Structures are given as C-alpha cells and as structure tokens.
C-alpha cells in the first residue's frame, strides 16, 4: 500500500514517446529495468568510487556503491510507504553520469570545460545519457524514461535555479521533487560514508583510533561491540560498529522524515512538491553526527596525501586527452564527429570522455598521448 504522498504509477506524467503498457511490469519497474540494461550502467563497474583497483578487488567501485544505495533506498522507501520501484530506478541511475576516476575525474573535466566557457555537471550528464546517448530502441533515441525518473535524475541531489537552466524548464524547478527522489541523496551519503570508513580502514589509511576519536557515532557503537564481544578480532568489532552506524542513520532518516511529514500535515504528492523545503532529512542529532563523519572523511581520506598521486594522474590524463581531441576531431568516434556539427566541440569531447571507464581512458591516453608523457604510470 502506497502512502497518499507517494508517487502512484497511475499519476505518472508518462514518457516522451508513448508506448503500449507492458502486461505485467508497471512503468517504474520498466524504467528500473531499462537503467540496469543500459550501457552506461554496466560501465559503472569500471569507474572508481574512491579507491582504484590498485588497492583491492573487493573495495567498492561505482557499480557496487550503486547497488548498496539501491538496497538502502528500497528499505527506506518501503518503510515510508513510498514507491519502491521509482526509488530503486532513481538509486540505480544516480551515478550513471559520473566520469572515470571518481571525484578527481569530475573536477578535471569541469576545469577543462571551464576553459572554454562551459562546465561539467554529472546530473546534467546523466540526463543526456538517458535522453540521447543510449541507443537501444528503433523508435527513439535514449531510454524514453518516464517524467518522474528524469525529474529525479536532475533533482535528487540539488536544486537548479529556473532562470539559470531554461533547458530544464519542464522539470518543475520551482517545486520540490517527490520524496522518492529526496531520499536518494541521503541514502547515497549513508552508503558512501559507511563504505568509505570500511574501505579506508581496510586500506590502512584510516586507523581505528583515528576513526573512533573523529567519528563519535562510530565510537559509541564500537564501545558497545567491545563490551559485548570482548574476544573477537578488531575487524569484527569494527564491522559491528559500522553496521550499527548504518542502521542508526537509516532508522533516523525514516523516523525523522515520517515526523516531518506528519508535522507538516502532508496528505498528497502535490503538497510534497509545494512544501517550502525538502521533507526528507535526519534529526538534528544524527545530522550533526553525519556532518562529523563527512568532515572526518574529507580530511583523512578524500584529501589525504596517500590518495594524491592518483588524483594528479587522473587530472593529467583527463586534461591531456581533452586537449588531444580538441586538436584532433577526426580521432573521435564517428557518432561524436557527427554531434560536433550540431554542438560545440568541447561539449562533444566532454561527453565522450565522461562516458569512458577507467580502463578505457587509460588505454586511450596511452595510445594517443603517450609520446608526450613519460612511461611507467602507477
């Protein structure tokens, strides 16, 4: 049973190109399945989340991170009475616009674009992927997703000001997104905060004592694990503390969002959209703990000196390949050469590079730019 404020599949504004109904899958289930079968989705397997393959084969990549976010989102959506199929489709799509090499790749691509008066934004790129680049259907370009999935891809993590983004006018920029989209940014953060503590600890970049003194939510649960399991290994106590940390964040997000929905007397999807702010959120206490964990990860992991060489490498490779294709349009695949007749060349080159996996960009760089670089990359 869906809550009154959930997105009912019968409320959907539909697809750009009308299609006959499927006999037993609803429209949001079809969209979820279309995302899973997309090429851009499969490429997530070879895109860095935080750690490159140099560290371990069992650390998260962007695909396994995405699967974790989908799992958390399904749990939260079901508990709040939201549309689980829509939430799952949005979770599975939430990172498909990411370029290779994680945050460093995104930063490098944005810097390259800014030199030509453009910019790179992974949400806008994700929309281009599902609207245009994926070519699976004879009748139209893109995946022909429902309005609600396209809207959620754009609006799940930030607000875009209507005057600055006239091209996004159809996505109701002056209104809040449905709760199914609002939870995605928060489940994304629950997913990566806990996962990055886990992988950072296993990589021996984050030491237990540092985590305990910098992340109080974790420390509380670690104390409890020590009291309950005195004789197990540190790693098992670590796991206990981490799973309770994740559970506390998820449970708090559910209960606090429920409380806010009730306090605001929200009875319909339209009221969710028209409410003055997003309704999904943590309680003040857990919000403070979340911020503390995030600040700890920024200082000790994301901006740590240990990960710096790979960042420098990512920026160099993205930057050099971008410059190469600007001078050698003929080296682009034919479809991108065709696009460059309709769109500025830097935009087309950016689209091409953003779609690359870590492996592929390394290969392309070695093949096309190797004469300019020294051998022996890490």
Residues 259-288 vs Mg ion: string with x where CB under 5 A? ------------------------------
Radius of gyration of the chain (CA): 22
Name the one range near Mg ion by CB under 5 A: 90-98, 173-181, 234-242, 284-292: 90-98
Smallest gap from Cβ 192 to Mg ion, in A, equals 6
> What 3 state SS string does 250-298 have?
HHHHHHHHHHHHHHCCCCCHHHHHHCCCCCCCCCHHHHHHHHHHHHHHH
95 binds Mg ion per the rule CB under 5 A: yes
Smallest gap from Cβ 50 to Mg ion, in A, equals 11
Name the one range near Mg ion by CB under 5 A: 36-44, 93-101, 223-231, 284-292: 93-101
- Cα 133 to Cα 63, 125, 144, 361: the distances in Å are 19, 10, 11, 18
Residue partners of 297: CB distance under 8 A and separation at least 6: 193, 196, 197, 200
Between CA 162 and CA 174 the distance in angstroms is: 7
Q: Which is nearer to Mg ion, 95 or 310 (CB)?
A: 95
Q: Which is nearer to Mg ion, 106 or 188 (CB)?
A: 188
Q: Which is nearer to Mg ion, 27 or 185 (CB)?
A: 185
Q: Which residues pair with 48 in a beta bridge?
A: 61
Residues in the chain: 378
Smallest gap from Cβ 259 to Mg ion, in A, equals 26
Smallest gap from Cβ 91 to Mg ion, in A, equals 9
* 20 DSSP 8-state letter: P
Name the one range near Mg ion by CB under 5 A: 91-99, 163-171, 217-225, 299-307: 91-99
Smallest gap from Cβ 332 to Mg ion, in A, equals 28
185 binds Mg ion per the rule CB under 5 A: no
Q: Which is nearer to Mg ion, 158 or 276 (CB)?
A: 158
Q: Which helix (H) or strand (E) holds 335?
A: helix 334-339
Q: Which is nearer to Mg ion, 26 or 75 (CB)?
A: 75
What number of chain residues touch Mg ion (CB under 5 A)?
Answer: 2
188 binds Mg ion per the rule CB under 5 A: yes
Smallest gap from Cβ 135 to Mg ion, in A, equals 25
Smallest gap from Cβ 71 to Mg ion, in A, equals 13
Smallest gap from Cβ 189 to Mg ion, in A, equals 8
193 binds Mg ion per the rule CB under 5 A: no
> Could you write out the DSSP letters of every residue in 77-130?
HHHHT--HHHHHHHHHHTTTT--SSHHHHHHHHHHHHHTTT----HHHHHHHII
Place of tokens 């309950």: 228
Q: Which is nearer to Mg ion, 181 or 348 (CB)?
A: 181
Angle at 53 between CA 96 and CA 350, to 5 degrees: 40
Name the one range near Mg ion by CB under 5 A: 22-30, 182-190, 275-283, 350-358: 182-190
Q: Is the dihedral of CA 337, 341, 342, 348 positive or negative?
A: positive
| Residue nearest Mg ion, CB atom distance | 188
Name the one range near Mg ion by CB under 5 A: 77-85, 142-150, 183-191, 370-378: 183-191
Residue 195, phi-psi category: left (phi > 0), alpha (psi -120 to 50), beta (remainder):
alpha
Give the footprint of Mg ion on this chain (CB under 5 A).
95, 188
């Amino acid at each position: 049973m869906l809550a009154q404020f959930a997105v009912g599949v019968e409320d959907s504004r539909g697809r750009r190109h009308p299609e006959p109904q499927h006999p037993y899958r609803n429209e949001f289930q079809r969209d979820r399945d279309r995302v899973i079968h997309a090429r851009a989705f499969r490429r997530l397997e070879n895109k860095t989340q935080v750690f490159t393959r140099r560290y371990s084969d069992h650390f998260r990549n962007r695909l396994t991170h995405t699967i974790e976010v989908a799992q958390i989102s399904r749990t939260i959506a079901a508990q709040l009475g939201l549309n689980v199929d829509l939430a799952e489709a949005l979770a599975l799509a939430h990172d498909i616009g990411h370029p290779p090499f994680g945050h460093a790749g995104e930063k490098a691509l944005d810097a390259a674009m800014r030199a030509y008066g453009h910019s790179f934004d992974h949400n806008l790129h994700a929309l281009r992927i599902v609207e245009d680049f994926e070519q699976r259907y004879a009748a139209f370009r893109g995946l022909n997703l429902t309005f609600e999935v396209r809207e959620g891809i754009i609006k799940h993590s930030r607000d875009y000001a209507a005057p600055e983004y006239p091209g996004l006018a159809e996505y109701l920029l002056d209104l809040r997104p449905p709760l199914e989209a609002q939870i995605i940014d928060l489940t994304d953060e629950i997913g990566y905060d806990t996962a990055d503590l886990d992988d950072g600890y296993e990589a021996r970049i984050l030491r237990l004592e540092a985590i305990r003194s910098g992340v109080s939510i974790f420390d509380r649960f670690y104390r409890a694990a020590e009291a309950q399991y005195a004789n197990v290994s540190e790693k098992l106590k670590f796991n206990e503390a981490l799973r309770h940390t994740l559970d506390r964040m998820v449970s708090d997000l559910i209960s606090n969002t429920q409380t806010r929905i009730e306090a605001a007397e929200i009875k319909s999807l339209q009221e969710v959209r028209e409410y003055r702010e997003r309704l999904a959120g943590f309680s003040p206490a857990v919000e403070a703990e979340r911020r503390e964990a995030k600040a700890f990860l920024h200082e000790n992991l994301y901006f740590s000196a240990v990960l710096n060489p790979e960042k420098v490498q990512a920026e160099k490779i993205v930057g050099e390949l971008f410059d190469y294709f600007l001078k050698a349009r003929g080296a682009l695949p034919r479809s991108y050469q065709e696009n460059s007749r309709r769109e500025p060349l830097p935009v087309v080159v950016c689209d091409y590079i953003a779609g690359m996996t870590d492996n592929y960009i390394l290969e392309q760089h070695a093949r096309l730019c190797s004469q300019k670089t020294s051998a022996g990359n890490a």
